[in-house]
Amino acid sequence: MNLTTDRGLSAYGEPPQPRGAQLLNDPLLNKGSAFTDQERDALGLRGLLPPRVFTIEEQVQRSLGSLRRKPNAIEKYIFLTALQNRNETLFYRLVTDHVEEMVPLIYTPTVGQACLEYGSNFRRPRGLFISIKDRGHIAEILRHWPHEGARLIVVTDGERILGLGDLGALGMGIPVGKLSLYTACAGVHPYYTLPITLDVGTDNEKLHEDPFYIGLRQKRARGEEYDAFIAEFVAAVRSVFPKALLQWEDFGNTNAFRLLHDYRQKLCSFNDDIQGTAAVALAGLIAALRLTGGRLRDQKLLFLGAGEAGTGIADLFVAAAREEGLSEGEARSRCWFVDSKGLVVKDRGDRLAEHKLPYAHVHPIVPTLAEAVNALRPTALIGVSGTPATFTQEIVAEMARLNARPVIFALSNPTSKAECTAEQAYAWSDGRAIFASGSPFAPVELNGTRHVPGQGNNIYIFPGVGLGALVSESREVTDGMFLAAAQTLAQLVQPEDLAMGRVYPALTKIREVSLGIATAVAEAAYAQGLAARARPADVTGDIRGRMFDPKYPSYV
């Protein structure tokens, strides 16, 4: 008997083979009531389970019933977390088979509330907490991780959790949730995923005062102390998990750009908030062209919010527009930003952060978004400010006056932070808006037409990018890979999606989408000499064969 090869794990490594109660307590191997009579006899399970043997389909139905009886989203999140901690195969089968119902529960918007309540709902640790007090011992702590050879790490320092701000150690819900999506949406085996929270303190005073806060109750470390901590962390990851791909997640923007820049070539890593968001938004813009009829190079984008997400999207748009023949300067001049101080322009009088400088064009001062829309006549309005109710009726109506099909993307998460709702976007534009949001909105009926909003969320991008980089064993995740991911995603939008006004594929297609993106990313790695593996003849088939499929193996 070999539990590992049966589970398809042998491609990666050989975990241990427990029996009896130890087997039931191992969520990666546990089948619960689905252990067969033969397995119960062979593995010392007889008597530890009630006699009736269930199929996984029956277990899914039973779990679904229990889940749906929970009174609210956070109770459902707690139920799903407990299931994940008990039986990962069943958890992923449930999530994969009911992806549209489950993703909003295990990710945005519910994960936002789950982070806020992480301390009070904390039952069993998942992932590693490494605090600034652990300096000098980080490699040792990484070696405490019970699985050998982590291949995929998502790490946060909790400073900018969704649009909710600094949640310190409570941010752990995000790496846990993102890694669940890697498995559910792209079939990365859960054994090789490792969520990490770096606790450097928090500037959220409420947490300092909370007697039950789970993290360090002190101000955030900054400057040299912070940089030295991160440098030690990166060195430790390289030495303990040399094959790992690392995703920087929900760092504050003063650190996010620097860390990406400083480490992307030293450690195979990317920043999802900057690069993943960029690719998903660009894919939406490319797909929208099939409804508006224009070319990408002729679009004018106006962003609300000039942070990681906004400037990331603009940078990737520039790369795509250059492929259509624009110079870098011309492409940049198609992107404009409004931040909390008004339109970002060259002589605004304040010291602009470095990431804004390429988009600080020569233009008179414009204090508000409404005036900026009026002055610039954009074709697309992209909300990445984390500030709700900022796409007002006046602004959306003006976009609809300027464009036959205005593109309105309210990408801020969670739902409570979206710049406008789907209903508002459609109602205020006479149903002409091409709308997408970061968190899901229900379809909207307006004057007899059903509008289905797209979910412009990086869930469409990062699982496939990560899978492609992992399987090809790429040394780096390049900007070109994100561009390829965006183009692939846009191609996968079907005519029937567009007919409903949706510029993203249905979430039910997510595993095929991730496979397509992983193929494009792996092909880029092979073509650019970044892959440590030789290119297999059938790249898609090779990746498909390595995707974790939540089915029980036979252990006897």
By CB atoms closer than 10 A (0-12, 13-18, 19+), residue 55 is exposed
Chosen residue from 390, 424, 514, 519 binding ligand NAD by CB under 6 A:
390
| Rounded Cα–Cα distance for residues 414 and 249 (Å) | 15
| Minimum distance of ligand NAD from residue 164's CB (angstroms) | 8
Positions 322 through 381 that interact with ligand NAD (CB under 6 A): 338-340
Please, which residue, 438 or 466, has the CB nearer to ligand NAD? 438
Per DSSP bridges, beta strands 193-199 and 152-156 are parallel
| Rounded Cα–Cα distance for residues 98 and 247 (Å) | 26
- How many residues make contact with ligand NAD (CB under 6 A)? 30
**Residue 131, SS3?**
strand
Please, which residue, 253 or 474, has the CB nearer to ligand NAD? 253
Out of 92, 107, 213, 359, the active site residue is 107
| Minimum distance of ligand NAD from residue 294's CB (angstroms) | 23
Q: Where are the alpha helices (DSSP H) in 52-145?
A: 56-69, 73-86, 88-97, 99-106, 110-116, 118-121, 138-142
Q: Kindly report whether the peptide bond that precedes residue 109 is cis, defined as omega within 30 degrees of 0.
A: yes
Is 412 an interacting residue with respect to ligand NAD (CB under 6 A)? Answer: yes
Is 63 an interacting residue with respect to ligand NAD (CB under 6 A)? Answer: no
Chosen residue from 417, 432, 509, 511 binding ligand NAD by CB under 6 A:
417
Q: How many CB atoms lie within 10 A of CB 224?
A: 8
Q: Are 501 and 452 in contact (CB under 8 A)?
A: yes
Please, which residue, 107 or 192, has the CB nearer to ligand NAD? 107
Q: How many CB atoms lie within 10 A of CB 36?
A: 16
Is 503 an interacting residue with respect to ligand NAD (CB under 6 A)? Answer: no
Is 113 an interacting residue with respect to ligand NAD (CB under 6 A)? Answer: no
Q: Which stretch binds ligand NAD (CB under 6 A): 215-223, 293-301, 305-313, 517-525?
A: 305-313
Is 173 an interacting residue with respect to ligand NAD (CB under 6 A)? Answer: no
CA distance readout (Å), 331 to 379, 383, 408, 427? 14, 20, 20, 32
Q: Which residue has the tokens 């470095």?
A: 354
Q: Which residues neighbour 231 within 8 Å (Cβ) at sequence distance 6 or greater? A: none
- Structure tokens that stand for 363 in this block: 């233009």
| Minimum distance of ligand NAD from residue 390's CB (angstroms) | 6
Chosen residue from 269, 413, 429, 474 binding ligand NAD by CB under 6 A:
413
Is 178 catalytic? The answer is yes
Chosen residue from 305, 468, 505, 516 binding ligand NAD by CB under 6 A:
305
Chosen residue from 253, 255, 271, 429 binding ligand NAD by CB under 6 A:
253
Per DSSP bridges, beta strands 335-339 and 342-343 are antiparallel
Is 306 an interacting residue with respect to ligand NAD (CB under 6 A)? Answer: yes
**Residue 109, SS3?**
coil
Q: Which stretch binds ligand NAD (CB under 6 A): 56-64, 190-198, 371-379, 412-420?
A: 412-420
Is 438 an interacting residue with respect to ligand NAD (CB under 6 A)? Answer: yes
Q: Which stretch binds ligand NAD (CB under 6 A): 19-27, 187-195, 307-315, 485-493?
A: 307-315
Per-residue binding letters, 82-111, with ligand NAD (x by CB under 6 A): ------------------------------
Chosen residue from 81, 84, 379, 385 binding ligand NAD by CB under 6 A:
385
Is 107 catalytic? The answer is yes
Q: Are 245 and 279 in contact (CB under 8 A)?
A: no
| Rounded Cα–Cα distance for residues 174 and 467 (Å) | 19
| Minimum distance of ligand NAD from residue 383's CB (angstroms) | 8
Is 547 an interacting residue with respect to ligand NAD (CB under 6 A)? Answer: no
Is 185 an interacting residue with respect to ligand NAD (CB under 6 A)? Answer: no
| Rounded Cα–Cα distance for residues 229 and 233 (Å) | 6
Q: Are 441 and 420 in contact (CB under 8 A)?
A: no
Please, which residue, 157 or 339, has the CB nearer to ligand NAD? 339
CA distance readout (Å), 347 to 371, 412, 434, 502? 18, 28, 33, 39
Q: Which residue's CB comes closest to ligand NAD?
A: 307
Out of 178, 182, 417, 555, the active site residue is 178
Q: Write out the residues near ligand NAD by the rule CB under 6 A.
A: 160, 162-163, 253, 273, 277, 280, 304-310, 338-340, 384-387, 390, 411-413, 417, 438, 456-458
